[in-house]
Amino acid sequence: MIKTDFEFKRTIIASGVILLIFSGAFLIYKILDQKNYISKNQKTVQVPEPVLPPDRIQTVIIPEGSVFSKVIIEAGVSSLDAEAVYVAAKASYDLAAVRAGRTINLAYDPSTNVLKKLVYPINDIEELQAKRTADGSWIATRESIKYEIRQKTARGKISSSLYAAGLEVGMDERAIIDLADVFQWTVDFAQDVRVDDTFSVIYEERWRDGFYVMPGRVLAAEYVNDGEKYRAFVYQNEAGIEGYYDESGGSLRKMFLKAPVAFKYITSSFTTGLRYVSAFNVSTGHRAIDYAASKGTPIRATADGTVTFAGWGGAYGNKVTIRHNGTYTTNYGHQSRIAVKKGQKVTQGQVIGYVGSTGFSTGPHLHYEMVKNGTRINPLREKFPGTDPLAESEKLNFQKTIEKYGPEL
Ligand SMILES: [Zn+2]
């Protein structure tokens, strides 16, 4: 087919328009691309912030029987620096008192390998920080340790002991001890624990620089002992004192501790399967509870009171008697060493002596008696009221704590 002249002109014009559109689009594309390029380029210009290489950190664990200067000189610190740090720290903390098992962190400049800083945790709250100044001298200060707090929940069922069950579900042993201590007025974990008892606990973990350091507070906990459920919620009252309360606002703190030996000393020796303790038994005449523990284990007063006897008690060996009020007294027998004197006032939990095997005894254990109005009774069956329940004015606030943690227990 032959195109007419008119048709030919139309094709030319159309081609021209298409070309114009394409070149325009290309131009716009190029402009946009250019802008994009610049912005990309500007970004790369902004990026190079002066990033200093991190300090080289050396962690030294203090061995048993060692001293500060020996530990850090063995770690490679010059005796000159060791001396200078010790002197600089002296006003804030005496480094002669460092404890075995704790760590000293040494920070070195990565390029010069010069010691810049030394950090020692004085306790869970504070650390000593010694820094080298620009002129090479050392300054030292006490600083509060800043932890990142993470919340953790653990649940378990007892097959042998609370300690074993806690370890099974991945708890730090210190957190297991904290959990037992929350219920130290409620459950005697040496005597009362039963197979199939259950627990759940919400607690804090303290982390630092991405590493787990230690457990923090127990926030809420539940222990079901022989079918009976006990719950505890942490609460700081209006006076600023923190304590544990049950769901109705009653304090878990009672007049008497359940056991005269702290849970941390009986973790491994007591299980539900194998208990080489003598229970309270009227028919055999053993109106006491025996706690097997190694010689030297601290014995604590189960309640506030006054020491009315501290000395040789014949068959009891070294014995301490505490009068708590007009109704109750307690006796602690077979001690290797007594730590209190007659007439002395003692508070609940205070160490009054140490486990031994003196008097009529075949092996180290504590013979613990509770006397009520002159009659020896079973302390585990005795019910004691809680002390200082929450005031009515605090109940609303406390309710919020229960709502926060209760459902997760
Ligand atoms: Zn006994």
- The first and second tokens of residue 168, run together, are 């099974």
Give residue-wise pLDDT tens across range 213-259. Answer: 899 999 999 999 999 999 999 999 888 999 999 999 999 999 999 99
**Residues belonging to the chain:** 409
Cα of 280 from ligand 1 centre, angstroms? 9
In this prediction the pTM is 0.71
- Return the closest-CA partner of residue 142 out of 124, 127, 121: 127
The SS3 of residue 378 is coil
Cα of 259 from ligand 1 centre, angstroms? 14
Amino acid identity for residue 4 in this structure: T
The values of phi and psi at residue 250, to 5°, are -80, 140
The SS3 of residue 117 is strand
- The first and second tokens of residue 363, run together, are 């092996």
The SS3 of residue 363 is coil
Cα of 163 from ligand 1 centre, angstroms? 25
Do strands 365-372 and 115-121 pair parallel, antiparallel, or not at all (unpaired)?
A: unpaired
Alpha carbon distance 334, 301 (integer Å) = 15
Cα of 367 from ligand 1 centre, angstroms? 4
Cα of 290 from ligand 1 centre, angstroms? 5
> What residue has token string 């098992």?
101
Cα of 63 from ligand 1 centre, angstroms? 39
231: number of Cβ within 10 Å:
21
Instruction: Please tell me the predicted confidence (pLDDT) of residue 228.
Output: 95
User: By mean pLDDT, which of 39-53, 81-95, 178-192, 223-237 is the weakest?
Assistant: 39-53
Stronger pLDDT, 169 or 385, i.e. the higher one:
169
Residues in contact with 168: Cβ distance below 8 Å, sequence separation at least 6, in sequence order = 156
- Return the closest-CA partner of residue 248 out of 142, 385, 381: 385
Give residue-wise pLDDT tens across range 304-350. Answer: 999 999 999 999 999 999 999 999 999 999 999 999 999 999 999 99
Partnered with residue 117 across adjacent β-strands are: 107, 131
Q: Alpha helices, DSSP H only, in 231-361?
A: 263-266
Query: What is the pLDDT confidence band of residue 276, given thresholds at 50, 70 and 90?
Result: very low
Alpha carbon distance 190, 192 (integer Å) = 6
Cα of 288 from ligand 1 centre, angstroms? 6
Residues in contact with 323: Cβ distance below 8 Å, sequence separation at least 6, in sequence order = 305, 306, 308, 329
Alpha carbon distance 351, 279 (integer Å) = 23
3-state secondary structure 186-220: CCCCCCCCCCCCEEEEEEEEEEECCEEEEEEEEEE
42, pLDDT greater than 70: no
Cα of 344 from ligand 1 centre, angstroms? 25
Residues with CB under 5 A from ligand 1 (ion): 288, 290, 367
Q: ∠ CA(334), CA(340), CA(343), 5° rounding?
A: 115
Cα of 375 from ligand 1 centre, angstroms? 16
User: By mean pLDDT, which of 14-23, 67-76, 381-390 is the weakest?
Assistant: 14-23
Alpha carbon distance 317, 337 (integer Å) = 10
Alpha carbon distance 304, 255 (integer Å) = 8
Give residue-wise pLDDT tens across range 143-180. Answer: 999 899 999 999 999 998 899 999 999 999 999 999 99
Cα of 398 from ligand 1 centre, angstroms? 42
Alpha carbon distance 292, 269 (integer Å) = 8
- Return the closest-CA partner of residue 365 out of 255, 311, 309, 286: 286
Give residue-wise pLDDT tens across range 102-128. Answer: 989 999 999 999 999 999 999 878 999
Instruction: Please tell me the predicted confidence (pLDDT) of residue 270.
Output: 45
